[in-house]
Each structure stands twice: as C-alpha cells, then as structure tokens.
Amino acid sequence: MATSADISTEESTNIKKVNNIIIGPCTCQLRDVLRHRIRPEHFSSIINTQSAFLPSSTRRQLKSILPENGRYTGNYDEMDISLLYTLLRNICNIKPHGKGWGKNPNPEDDSLSASIERIRKARNSIIHSSNLSTESLDCILETIKSAVKDMDKYLNNENKYEKDVENICKESSLIEDKTPDVDRLKQRLIEIHNLTTRNIPVAGVENGVDQLPIEQLFSSVVIQEDHKETRKRNKSKKDNEQNSEERKEVKSPDDILLKNGKPVSRIFMLGKAAHGKTTYCMWLLSNWCKALQPCSNGGSLGEWAVALSRFDFVFLLQFRHVDKSMTNVTEMICQDISGTDSNLQTAVKYVLSSDRHSCLVIMDGLDEWKPDEAVMKKLKFKGMPNIDNMSNCLIFTTMRPWRFSDVERFVLDNDLVIEILGLDDTGIEAVIEKVLENFYGLKRDTVEYEAKCREIKTKLKDETMRSFIKIPLLAVVCVQLWYEDEDVGDTMASFYVAMANMMIERAIRRNQTQNPREIQPNAQVIPANLMSMLSSKKYMYINSNIDVLIKFGMIAYDGLTSPKDMKLVFERHELEKDLSYKELQFGLDVGLISEREAPSIMTRKTRIQFLHKSVQEVLASIHILTMENGINVFCANFSDVETIMELSNVITFICGMCPSLANVILQRVVSVANDDIKISWHRKLHSGQTPALGLFKLQALWYRELQKRDEDNQITFYVSDISIDEYSDKGTIDMTRLILSNHYKYLKCLYLIRVPTNTEHGISNVELNNFLSNSNKTVSLISLSIADYFVTDRFVHPICIPTLKVLHLNSISIRDRILTSNIQNPFLMNMPALQELELWHMNLGDRDMGLNSEMINIQTIRLSRVKMTKSGWGQFVRSLMNINHKFSVMLVDTDIDQDSKETICRSPHINVLKNGLFREMDHDMDILMFDVHYNIRLYRRDNAN
C-alpha cells in the first residue's frame, strides 16, 4: 500500500503538485487540441478509416469508448493523457518535431508536437515516483509552463491553461487544499465496509440473531472462466499444443487479478439468482479491511487479504441503492459514500482519477440497475453507466447472466469474464458446519454435532437436492429444514415456501406473541394448485398468515414492475402506506425484510429491503397468483425479451406453484420472443451469447419446475428458440431432447454448437437425424444452425423441413473423413421455403445437395472450405442451372474442379465469368460471389458482409 503518498512532506507534496497539473490543466489542454484537430461528431468515422495506424492496445481502448452504432457524441473527457498522446501523434496529421515523435525535442523547438511531447515526458518522469526534490520540481515546472504557453497560443484561448498552471503553482500545501480528506475517506470506507460485512442479514437463527459477520456465512464457491474465455485461450495456442475445453477454475488471487501474467482491466462476474455474487463481494471487502487492520494476535493474513492490500481504496457500489437519475459511476460513489460532504466528494474524485492511487471499484448487481429512457439516452453504452477518468481503477462488476448480452460487445482482450456456479462439495460441508455452529450453537466434536452432520450429509445423495443445495442461500435454508426434519420439496418454489414457513415459525416461537390460526386461505381467490400447496399441513404458518404475505407480495410486485425503474430498496414511509405498524413489524421479526441505516455519512436515511431479491420475487409471484386477473396483468409487462429475463425468477416460482396458470405466461413469452429476437443466425453463430441462448436456459428451468408439479402430464411446450452449446447443463440438454422428440410444435429456431453426441450429456445422431428428416407438417422450424457436431454415423436421411428458411451447417464431419459418401438420398429434400443455405468446412463427397427448381425462395448459397468429388461438384453445378430466379452464390476456399468451372463458364445463364476468377483463395481475404443472370463480383472479406 502506498500510504506514504498521503503524507504531506515537502517532496511528496512536490510530486502531487506536478501530478495535479498533469491530470488537470495539461490533460484538459490536450483534449482541446484534439477537439481542434478532430470534432467529436467526426471522431467515429475518422477512427474507422485511420485505425490501422493505431497500436492494437489503443484500438481496444477505443472500443470501450466508441458506441457500437451511430456516431460518437462525447466530448473527449473520458480520455486520459496516454490515449490523447497516441491519437494526436497518429491520426491528427500533426507534423513531428525535429527529433521525431517519442524523443526529447530540441530546447528551442516551439512546435505543437514538441509541446505535446514535453507534457508526455513530464508525466512519465513522475508517474512511478513517490518523491520529488525541489530542484527537480523547478525543472519540470519550467518545462510544463513553456509547453502549456505554446499550446495556448495554438488554441488562441487567452492563456487559459497557463493561468490554471500558475494558480496551482502558487498554492501552498496543495495536498491539504485539493485533497484534504484522503485519510478521512479511507477511514470512512473502513467503517462502512466493517459495518456492512459484520452485519449480513440472515433469517431463521434459533437464538433470535438476525445478522452475522460474513466469515460465519461465506463458504468456498466454484468460480470458472466464462466458456468464451476457454475458447479464446485454446484459439491462441499453437497447433502442436493440446487444447482443453475444460473451463479454468478461479482459485487463487492471481487467477482473478491477472490474465496472461498482466493485471486485468475489468472483471465481469456472472451468476444466477442467489448463487452468491453479493456474498462474494462482501468477502472481498472483508479481506481488504483485514489487510488494513491486521490481527491483534499476530496471526498472518490470508492470501486474499495480502493480494487485496495492493489497492489503496476499495469502493462498493450496489446498484439497488443507486439514484436512477445518475449516469456516472464517480457521481454514484460520491453520493453513496459522502452524501453532501463536499470535502469527501473531492477526495473520492481525486483518488478515482489519480495515477497515484490504486483503486478497486466493486459494482454489484448491474441487472438491478434500470434507469428510465431519458437517462438511457445519456449513456455511451446501453445498460452500462458511464465510467470516466478512472483509468487506474480495477472495475469488478457482478450481474445475472442474461444482462451480460448488453455488456459483452465492449469487453476488451485484457478484461476477464468469470461465472460463479455455486458451492462445491467443500463449500457445502462448510455450510453444514457453520449452520450447526452459528445458528444452533452446537459445539464441534460433540456427539450431537457429529450425529447431525452425518444425518444431513446422507440427504445430499439425492441428485435434485444436490443441485439445489449448491445455491448458497438455499443451502443455508436447506440445512436448517433438514435439522428440523422438515420436507423441502423438489422445486425452487417449494424451497422458498418452506423457507418462509420456517422463518414465520421461528419468529412466532421467539416472540411467543402469536400462534398459527386454524383457518384456510380464501379458496375463491387462490388458484387450486397454489391452494393445494398452501393448505398442506407442513405450510401451516404460511397458511395462517397468508393475508399479510399477500400484502408484502403486492409491495414486492410493484417494486419489480415499476414503470419508471426496478425498486428493490424502500424507505419506511413508503411501506407504511400499505402496511400497518404491526404488519411491518411482523415482516421485520420474521426476516422477510431488513431495516438498515444508509451508509452515507450525511443522509442517515433508513432503508428497508427484502432479505434477498429472490425472496422479493417469490412474494411477488404469490401476489400475482392471488390477484384478480393477475396473470394477464403480469404478462402485460412483457414488452421485450429483456423485460422477460428481468422477471424470469418470478416466472420460475409461478411455474412451481401453479402449472395451470403458468402455461398462459409461457405462451406469451413465445409470442414476445418471436417479435423481439430479430437477429441473423449467421451472426449468432459467431457472437456466442445471445438473447435466445439466455432465454432458452430460463425456459428449461421453468419447464423443470412445471414437470415436478404437473400431475396430469399435460404440459404444452411453448418454446420457439432452442440455443445450447457444450456448456449447457444436463437439464437444458434433456429438455432439448424432449422437445425435439415430440414437443416441437412451436419451435422456430434451433441453434446447436459443439453439442456432444452421447445420449447422456448431448444430442445423439439418431435423435437429430429423426428430427431433421421429419417432413411432418407440425414441424414449423424456420432457422437451423449447427456447428462443430461430430457424427458417429452417416446422415443417411436428407434434411427435410418444408418450413425451413435459413440453414447453416459448420464442421459437420467425422474428423477428415467424407460425411456422406455413396448415399443415394439427396442432402436436402422438400425445402421450398429455404432462402439461405450456408455450409462451412464440410466434406460432402459425391452426394447430391438437392438443389432444384422447387426452391423458389432461395436467395443465397454460401460454401466455404467445402470439399466434394468431381462428380459431386458436377452435380452441384448442374443443380444451379435448375434455379431460374435471381440468387447469389459464394465460394470460398473450395476444391471445385476445372470441368465444373468450364461448365459454369459455358452456361448461358451467367453473363460475365472469367476463368481467372476461379483460384485458390485465402479464406481470410477473398470471397467469390456471382449472381445468376447478373455479373460476377470479387469482394474483399472486409466488404463481404
């Protein structure tokens, strides 16, 4: 830790004085020079044409600044001095000084480039130093003043920045004037983080404790790199190195803080509901505080505390607490930490932007941040707050997986994407031990403790139970229920209902103020499926308090579906509008909600939130099911796929509680998905994470919940898009197999990439073949994309789906052997709706592709790295002549023979075609494209799209 940087000695003050001049007037002046050379509205187009002149690291940095679509509308304020220098040097047509860019200019040189160079050299001279002598200070200031004066002349700004530099130089004791509260800020952070990590809300503790320190709750979780990181790592390996499709596990600090031996720039942690994202953030905060406050008993710090000690400051920004009108992360942190304390706000801005301080900024719950449309228009990137002047900060962001589709397009090479998958076996055992010890007060090594451990561990043999108990929140609840010999059910909904019942029971037992009433819920309001669940004797405490739970459910539902923004945190007066004092106190006593003072030093507002967002979601689902016409009102919120994903957990709970009404929701989901997902399947094949991919994973979870509760087996599978890959879980794969076998009525799009061919964890050749060769009119598939699918048997049957419009096949083969040799059936049959056919990296042998005059809608045929025998190519060329309307053909790196070339050349259907255009082409460079009845065109790949 560079704590010496905060000591106001003369030499440290000198270097901070220069640093403030560099990051203040000098950086602003260089931004003005860039504005003078390139107007911001023209920046995007110029970068697109001049990017080849920029270093690769700069191009990646610009990727995080430039919008994906449209023009750059910023003002260069997010650019630091290193990026500004690179742009001014490479794309602004500024004449190099006499010595050339990157070298010290001659003392008498007053050119623009010489002034820019001097500012850069001054910055580099102090960036890695902690002290600066007075003699050196005078020399650097003289250089800076000269450069700033010359650039002011160029800008014709009445010596604006020269005056700013003089004002800073005249100030005595700069560090006290400009950053008077750096030390106080650090102490404030330690106080907030200690308060937060030592008081984690919990429910159901026998002794009445409703908060525990993070150390008594946190257990080791499985964290792995995202599957795209695995593919990137394998792609970068040399051909003679063995590729491993196993995802790298994150275990040590270096696994998460370093990538390829270099510090990461940003970390994105993905995780499903209740899988421990927030708990992990709290654990990081706790370790940082430990590093600053070593154990009094002299014990050594753990490796994580040591690793986090490299950060001078660690900030936690929880999006559920953020003012939705704000767009800038620095402003959000200032409000959350310092309130209206202007001195602390100055300190926050200083340390976040200063090169002298290393900061870790933890942004928890990006999926919980939903600003209104007016705020969204001010964002540089959809779904991500603006991060300006924080180049020396490591940004750690957590979110649910569906939200990552908005963020991934500006992930840079030096960013790390990881996924938290829940507890491992060691973590589960740790949870059991911590619950017995901290919740029930059992001492280790006692007979009762050992007996309860064995009893609970025997229940983990059930596969369904193991899948649920990997979720940290449910693991804590599950152990408590098993301790009481309670039944936890076999669905997510039953888990949460059992948890709520236990929490109410414990509160009643502690307070001894209320006993369960022997009454039944209103059967006229509650659907039969939910009625049968809540009327069960094992849920008697929920049964007797259903009225107040429905009220909490209404508040939970209104918060999740608020038209302005998602509301997850409430002030007490907001809840008092709908709840009596007794009802509000009931929620606090039970633990459904928790009341905490806001951390801001000035606001001191009391905030109330539900125990966990998933608890808010299950209560909202109860409200929906008990509200008149509730399902239709709920479905009215589904404006697009993103909204569906935001409310996906609510749908999960409804499926587990009331299958009869869940079908209405699932039918609506398909309708919205068909209207909203309008992306090319070719683009999806190469982009990876897509809305459809995330949506189908959620649908698989919903239908698993339905299957557990559907006693009559009358489920209708309203699934329009199936998207799976080699990392899809077994439940998702099983759901796919079931739909492809006999539940494909509503299926429109099928996307498979690297899916195993074994029947245990994948889709077998027989299953896929039977589906693709099905000419039954009930198959309504429109788009089909399959990549890297290895067949163990030949595709004997043709692909026969009359409704199919788009077909993309990539690397369907038995290693290097021919896929379909000596087979009489054509490759395609009865495909009148087909519009786009694309085959990549395949060996078709001599099989007839099946192109014919019935394909009246065909528009594009693309063959890339496709091999065929001479007779196969001959058959392909002859089949092209059978198509009489305008269409396009692309051939890239094919082994088409000379006779076939000549046949095409002699064809009267093609106006212009020269043999010279048929050649071996580098598949990364050229694409040959010709239109029947039109001209041949040779495209560079850059323009082929």
Mean pLDDT of 317-330: 85
State residue 530's pLDDT score: 65
What integer best gives the mean pLDDT of the chain? 75
pLDDT at 315: 94
Instruction: Give me the pLDDT at residue 117, please.
Output: 93
- Model confidence at 33: pLDDT above 90: yes
24, 678, 791 from 168: Cα distances, Å: 10, 55, 72
Task: Say if residues 365 and 398 touch (Cβ distance below 8 Å).
Answer: yes
pLDDT band at 72 (very low <50, low <70, confident <90, very high): low
- CB burial readout 621-632, b (16+ within 10 A) else e: bbbbbbbeebbe
Q: Which of 214-223, 323-332, 478-487, 924-933 has the lowest mean pLDDT?
A: 924-933
- Which is more confident, 770 or 114? 114
Residue 779, pLDDT > 80, answer: no
Report whether pLDDT(938) > 70: no
pLDDT at residue 564 tops 50: yes
* Sheet (strand 313-318) strand order: 221-225, 416-423, 266-271, 393-399, 359-364, 313-318
Residue 936 dihedral angles phi and psi, to the nearest 5°: -85, 140
Cα–Cα distance for residue pair 851/858, rounded to 1 Å: 9
What is the end-to-end Cα distance of the chain in Å, rounded? Answer: 50
CA atoms within 13 Å, Cβ hemisphere of 922: 4
Strand locations in 501-620 (E): 569-571, 593-597, 606-610
> Which of the four pLDDT bands, split at 50, 70 and 90, describes residue 777?
low
Amino acid at 235: K
Is pLDDT of 937 > 60? no
pLDDT digits (tens, 9 = 90+) for 812-857: 754 444 444 445 667 788 888 888 888 888 877 777 788 888 888 8
Q: What tens digit of pLDDT does each residue of 844-902 get?
A: 777 778 888 888 888 888 888 888 888 888 888 888 777 777 777 777 777 888 777 77
Lowest mean pLDDT among 500-504, 524-528, 618-622, 739-743: 524-528
Is 286 or 460 the better-scoring residue by pLDDT?
Answer: 286
Asked if pLDDT for residue 151 goes beyond 90, the answer is yes
Where residue 147 falls among pLDDT bands split at 50, 70, 90?
very high
Residue 318 phi/psi, 5-degree rounding, is -95, 115
Strand pairing partners for 861?
A: 837, 889
* Mean pLDDT score, 461-469: 66
Candidate ranges 186-195, 269-278, 552-561, 701-710; pick with highest mean pLDDT: 552-561
| pLDDT score, position 619 | 93
- pLDDT tens digit string along 424-440? 888 888 888 888 887 78
| Secondary structure of residue 391 in the 3-state scheme | coil
Does the pLDDT value for residue 733 go beyond 70? yes
Position 598: which residue type? A
3-class secondary-structure state, position 859: coil
pLDDT one-digit tens code per residue, 306-318: 889 889 899 999 8
Q: Does the pLDDT of residue 703 top 50, yes or no? A: yes
Q: pLDDT band at 536, cuts 50/70/90?
A: low
Residue 778 — very low, low, confident or very high, per pLDDT cuts 50/70/90? low
pLDDT at 115 over 90: yes
Confidence of residue 910 (pLDDT cuts 50, 70, 90): very low
148: pLDDT strictly greater than 90: yes
pLDDT at residue 687 in the model: 36
d(CA 640, CA 676): 6
Q: What's the pTM value of the predicted model, to 2 decimals?
A: 0.67
Query: Rounded distance, CA 255 to CA 247, Å?
Result: 12
CA atoms within 13 A of residue 392's CA, in its CB half-sphere: 21
916-940: average pLDDT: 35
Nearest to 6 by CA among 314, 357, 249, 299: 357
**The pLDDT value given to residue 144:** 92
User: What would the pLDDT profile of 259-303 be if each residue is shown by its tens digit?
Assistant: 877 888 889 999 888 888 988 999 999 999 888 875 544 456 688
Q: Amino acid identity of 112?
A: L
With 0-12 / 13-18 / 19 or more C-beta atoms within 10 angstroms meaning exposed / middle / buried, residue 96 is middle
pLDDT attached to residue 111: 92
